[in-house]
Chain A
């Protein structure tokens, strides 16, 4: 197990390093500098600015400087927002984005398990057909459409929750649902398949023969088996949720990292965009690593490695 985890960890770190390298050099070879504003700056001032940001150094020096700061957790100053460094922007947005992402993931897993179990226990029956058709439809509705429609129904017509902004718990209800919806469907499909095949497993037949209650059979014998594929889905799901949160934060006007990313992208804020990509990549790689650990814990064959 230790060897397996070490291998996975090394792999994650190499990937992260590769991302940082590629992103850094892409940013530097891109046309147009951060000071190419509407107004031409006097060359002396521009030179001073570049010196202050180390832009006058050779590329490899800049890269080394950036890496050195990154290791200490410093993402550098923002190229566009005065008086802010990227850390401040990221740490300001992080709590909002984390709350949004984790709530959506929880909702997706719990609701998806419920739907998938219900459907999987009645394979081929009308309930199964309807639940799965609904899931398929759900997978097809993109967040950019589902979000506004949710606002229209629950905020504009019913007035149950606010349409946007942040501050209270109610502000998070719609964004979390909008972000989680496609993943509820995806989890439901996975769990449904698992429950259907678990139904014919010998250990489930044994449980039935022992006269266990249906609740115990489903909860203790079928769901655990059916949930194993879920673990490997969590890595890509985390990546998808993080990406999706960019658009959800935009739609619901939540001040998360995604908002800063879009602002930074539109304003060509080099360090900010790069900082967000680095933070997101780290988060996703960390999540994948945790999924690997979980996989090792449930699968004895991997533990033996």
Chain B
């Protein structure tokens, strides 16, 4: 029995997770077009109303359509995740490649730095950065990316260590190829699969971190919105209009669940291939 999560057949859950994720992305992209309301339009006749035919997810305290706002929030949250993960890949992959390929002291030093950062309240440090340098959204993306590259660096290093032993790397070295060339042309293509899987697994963490920071009022600012901002707004009216927290909350949870499940299953498949 495979000790790694053999529950719910992977053949049924994988398409569900992938489909859900695609649906969320699709809704975020084209969803607002289906509603007659804009993200900042206020319906003076419907303030803080529950879900109805006119306002599918209800309206907030100033009469803004929650469906449209949730979709706009999705755009922001997903864009933040995308940009942050790109930053994480740009730092983490080269870091892991170099550490794994060079080995020895270089590897030791580079991985000690990763270990050190790993043992820190990094989200709080991101908050610190955002506070210090203004609530610039781009800075938020970059800071989040700068926080999530640690796992990637570890994975890439581990994979590189394995690939480094291969005969074709030795052959390339024998032919006098330079280290950057070997890393880019020979090592990177061979570790792409596992790296992509761990990218999938890192995305939910970033989405959660963004919502966490925005929830505290330190991230995305009004009038712009994200799932974290919407949830924070919803908390204010928890008792009188719970739908304001439920809809963005559900979207947030569903997205994180899909990414987690997708990553888990893909990792299981990779592991199985390695076991054979």
Contact = CB atoms under 8 A, between A and B. Distances in A.
A, B assembled together = yes
Interface of A: 11-12, 14-15, 18-19, 23, 26-27, 30-31, 123-124, 128-129, 132-133, 136-137, 139-145, 148-149, 151-152, 156, 189, 192-194, 196-197, 199-200, 235-236, 239, 242-243, 246-247, 250-251, 261-262, 265-266, 268, 273-274, 276-277, 280-281, 284-285, 288
A239 B228 contact: no
12 contacts: A27-B132, A31-B134, A124-B7, A133-B7, A152-B242, A192-B3, A193-B3, A196-B3, A239-B120, A266-B217, A273-B131, A277-B121
A121 to B, nearest CB: 12
B215 A144 contact: yes
B238 A152 contact: yes
A19 B120 contact: yes
A261 B124 contact: yes
Given A156-B238, A281-B121, A265 B231 contact: no
Interface in B246-261: 246, 249, 252-254, 256-257, 260-261
Nearest to B234: A148
A140 B257 contact: yes
The B contact surface, by secondary structure, is: helix
A284 B129 contact: no
Contacts of B8: 129, 132-133
Contacts of A15: 116, 119-120
A138 to B, nearest CB: 10
A144 B218 contact: no
Contact of A11 (B115, B129, B215): B115
Nearest to B250: A145
B231 A193 contact: no
Contacts of B155: none
Interface string B217-242: 11000000000100110110011001
Contacts of A242: 121
Contact of B256 (A30, A142, A148, A266): A142
The A contact surface, by secondary structure, is: helix
B212 to A, nearest CB: 6
B140 to A, nearest CB: 13
B29 interface: no
Interface string B165-200: 000000000000000000000000000000000000
A27 B246 CA distance: 38
Nearest to A19: B120
Contacts of B125: 23, 277
A151 B131 contact: no
Given A137-B253, A140-B260, A265-B127, 10 more contacts: A15-B116, A23-B125, A123-B1, A142-B208, A144-B212, A144-B249, A268-B132, A280-B121, A285-B119, A288-B119
Nearest to A182: B208
Closest 4 pairs between A and B when the two form their complex, measured CB to CB = A30-B132, A140-B257, A145-B249, A15-B116
B104 interface: no
Contact of B238 (A151, A273, A280): A151
Contacts of A149: 245-246, 249
Nearest to A200: B1
A136 B242 contact: no
Contact of A142 (B123, B134, B246, B253): B253
B216 interface: yes
Contacts of A128: 7
A149 B231 CA distance: 11
B113 to A, nearest CB: 9
Most B CB contacts (10 A, CB to CB) among A15, A145, A194, A199 go to A145
A152 B124 CA distance: 28
Contacts of A285: 119
Contacts of B133: 30-31
A262 to B, nearest CB: 5
A19 B256 CA distance: 30
Contacts of B252: 142, 145
A260 B267 CA distance: 40
Contact of B218 (A151, A243, A266, A284): A266
Given A26-B129, A156-B239, A239 B256 contact: no
Interface in B4-48: 4-8
Interface string B105-133: 00000001001101111111101110111
Contacts of A132: 5, 7-8
Contacts of B92: none
Contacts of B216: 246-247, 250, 262, 265
A137 B77 CA distance: 20
Given A145-B253, A148-B245, A152-B242, A247 B215 contact: yes
B211 interface: yes
A148 B238 contact: yes
B121 A142 contact: no
A8 to B, nearest CB: 10
A241 B253 CA distance: 19
B234 to A, nearest CB: 7
A273 B131 CA distance: 10
